[in-house]
């Protein structure tokens, strides 16, 4: 099983919607998917589950969320649950449900990260908590892939999530904020990767848990272009979009040999342009299903049927290219 994180330092780009739709598309292609909602805002869980279900999961004394599964380790009375609770969304999609309470773990995760350097046992248990949770969920659900959604910051929760990930996909928009986001995210990923390798060497011999490799290998970027972005003048859009290939190579791939970067059309690092699906998005939210599965019974009329088909094809191609990149190693 491979784990892919979707990550950028800029919020509101459509990242969570992207993870939601990709999960359904991979499932449509008969892959088994675990989705880990590691953003304490839990928007992804809100897309998968009815509010009532979510409310029940959050209220249970024995919480059936990600935080519930790791809580014994953080309250100091045990380790993470060996059988994390997986909310079955469909035959092939299992959700590790997000939880606002996860934000309370930030400080401990941050402190234990340093303590790994002292070879502290609990520090490794805590720092590898998400990776271990994902590994056991993947096994239990017999998943082929785990997709990880995180919030748009560079804090300890996200570091722990990225260490758990074999690959990372970076959604971005052609604007100043996304370019700046790349300049933050790229070097941060490089630092986390190196720092984790240093820590792995300090693992106490007596500690019998598997640690993740922390590869977080960049698979590429996805250009998001919904309405907020498209409403800006075309010139500004072109200005920013033309800067993406070089910035990605420099900041994320650390290529600084002075070689020139291709134009975005010829860039091997772009995985897709995702368009604005306009009215399909609110309809999908209303119908509790992905945009590409909307039917006339959900209110799709006339030209929207074409848009639904196009949307299906867009996500089909994106899922395919992601799998290809993974196969290439
Ligand atoms: N491709 C798209 N077309 C139209 N609207 C979109 C698209 N992607 C996301 N949105 C909308 O943009 C808003 C932010 O999306 P979200 O997935 O929560 O972003 P993020 O996780 O990056 O903060 C939501 O209201 C969502 O419905
Ligand atoms: Mg989000």
- Protein residue whose Cα sits closest to atom 15 of ligand 1: 14
- In the chain, alpha helices (H): 15-28, 43-48, 51-59, 66-74, 106-115, 121-127, 129-141, 156-163, 176-200, 227-230, 234-241, 244-247, 280-287, 304-327
At 78 the pLDDT is 86
At 232 the pLDDT is 62
CA of residue 190 to ligand 2 center, whole Å: 23
At 230 the pLDDT is 54
Give 149's strand partners: 6, 37
6: left (phi over 0), alpha (psi -120 to 50) or beta: beta
Q: Does domain 2-220+311-327 have CATH number 3.90.550.10?
A: no
At 236 the pLDDT is 78
Pocket of ligand 1 (CB under 6 A): 11-17, 43, 226, 274, 276-277, 281
CA of residue 259 to ligand 1 center, whole Å: 35
Q: Please identify which residue in the block is written with the tokens 């994106």.
A: 318
CA of residue 8 to ligand 2 center, whole Å: 10
At 82 the pLDDT is 81
CA of residue 256 to ligand 2 center, whole Å: 31
Give 93's strand partners: 33, 90
Instruction: Indicate which atom in ligand 1 lies nearest the CA of residue 274.
Output: 1
**Three-state secondary structure of 119-177:** CCHHHHHHHCHHHHHHHHHHHHHCCCEEEEECCCCCCHHHHHHHHCCCEEEEEECCCHH
> Which of 225, 281, 286 has most ligand 1 atoms within 8 Å of its beta carbon, as the pocket-test mutant?
281
Domain boundaries, the chain: 2-220+311-327
Instruction: Indicate which atom in ligand 1 lies nearest the CA of residue 149.
Output: 21
Residue 72: what are its φ and ψ, rounded to 5°? -55, -35
At 83 the pLDDT is 86
User: Would you state the structure tokens that stand for residue 288, as one six-digit string?
Assistant: 């509790």
Print pLDDT tens along the chain (329 aa): 999 999 998 888 899 999 999 999 999 999 999 999 999 999 999 999 999 999 999 987 778 999 999 999 998 778 888 889 999 999 999 999 999 999 999 999 999 999 999 999 999 999 999 999 999 999 999 999 999 999 999 999 999 999 999 999 999 998 888 899 999 999 999 999 999 999 999 999 999 999 999 999 999 999 997 665 555 666 777 888 999 999 999 999 999 888 888 999 999 999 999 988 989 999 999 999 999 999 999 999 998 999 999 999 999 999 999 999 999 97
At 228 the pLDDT is 54
């Amino acid at each position: 099983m491979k784990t892919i994180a979707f990550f950028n330092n800029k919020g509101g780009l459509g990242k969570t919607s992207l993870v939601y739709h990709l999960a359904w598309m991979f499932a449509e292609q008969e892959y088994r998917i675990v989705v880990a909602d590691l953003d304490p805002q839990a928007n992804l869980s809100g897309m998968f589950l009815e509010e009532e279900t979510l409310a029940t999961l959050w209220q249970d004394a024995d919480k059936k969320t990600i935080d519930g599964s790791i809580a014994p380790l953080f309250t100091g009375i045990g380790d993470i649950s060996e059988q994390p609770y997986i909310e079955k969304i469909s035959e092939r999609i299992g959700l590790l449900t997000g939880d606002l309470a996860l934000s309370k773990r930030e400080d401990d995760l941050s402190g234990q990260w340093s303590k790994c350097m002292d070879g502290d046992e609990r520090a490794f248990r805590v720092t590898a908590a998400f990776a271990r949770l994902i590994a056991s969920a993947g096994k239990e659900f017999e998943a082929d892939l785990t997709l990880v959604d995180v919030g748009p910051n560079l804090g300890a929760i996200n570091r722990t999530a990225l260490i758990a990930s074999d690959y990372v996909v970076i959604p971005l928009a052609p604007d100043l904020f996304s370019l700046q986001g790349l300049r933050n995210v790229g070097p941060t990923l490089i630092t986390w990767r190196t720092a984790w390798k240093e820590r792995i060497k300090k693992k106490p011999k007596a500690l019998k848990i598997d640690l993740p490799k922390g590869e977080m290998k960049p698979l590429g970027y996805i250009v998001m272009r919904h309405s907020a972005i498209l409403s800006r003048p075309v010139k500004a859009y072109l200005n920013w979009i033309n800067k993406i290939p070089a910035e990605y190579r420099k900041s994320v791939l650390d290529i600084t040999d002075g070689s020139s970067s291709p134009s975005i059309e010829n860039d091997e690092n772009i995985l897709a342009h995702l368009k604005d699906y306009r009215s399909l998005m609110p309809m999908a939210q209303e119908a509790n299903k992905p945009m590409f599965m909307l039917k006339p019974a959900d209110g799709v009329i006339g030209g929207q049927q074409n848009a639904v088909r196009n949307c299906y094809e867009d996500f089909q191609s994106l899922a395919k290219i992601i799998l290809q990149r993974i196969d290439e190693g």
